[in-house]
Amino acid sequence: MSEAQPVPDWLYGRWRFRDADADVGILPDTCMDFRTSGRLLYTVLVEGQQAQFDLQYQVRGNLLQTLNPDGGQTSSVAFERIGDDLLQLDFNGKRARFVRERLM
């Protein structure tokens, strides 16, 4: 496995779920907020209640690796930037897209 690499500056900030291929399983209103400290705030809406998960992340090549320190669960997903404001995650051929949220 490749070594952790510097996080590209464009990844930092808040990304909101836009759309996905069938069966990806990401809930509407999901947000990811990438912090410079290697912290990822992952927020979902479940039964009208907001749930937030405080994760850690690293970049290794084109892979985004996350760790849930509470449960020890890890995951890896290929990622790429499309244009200036679109983040695409590739779950073994099934893709989900997130749009950058801009401050007003």
Domain presence at residue 51: yes
Domain presence at residue 81: yes
CA 92, 95, 96, 102 torsion-angle sign: positive
Domain region containing 16: 9-100
Domain presence at residue 2: no
Domain presence at residue 3: no
Of 84, 96, 104, nearest in space to 16 by CA? 96
Q: Which CATH number is 70's domain given?
A: 2.40.128.280
Domain presence at residue 40: yes
Domain presence at residue 42: yes
Tell me: the pLDDT tens digits for 1-56?
457 889 999 999 999 999 999 989 898 899 999 999 999 999 998 888 899 999 99
Higher-pLDDT residue of 84, 104: 84
Domain presence at residue 16: yes
Higher-pLDDT residue of 32, 103: 32
Query: What's the whole-number mean pLDDT along residues 58-66?
Result: 95
Q: What is the pLDDT of residue 30?
A: 95
Domain presence at residue 47: yes
pTM comes to 0.89
Angle at 30 between CA 70 and CA 36, to 5 degrees: 60
Instruction: Domain count for the chain, please give it.
Output: 1
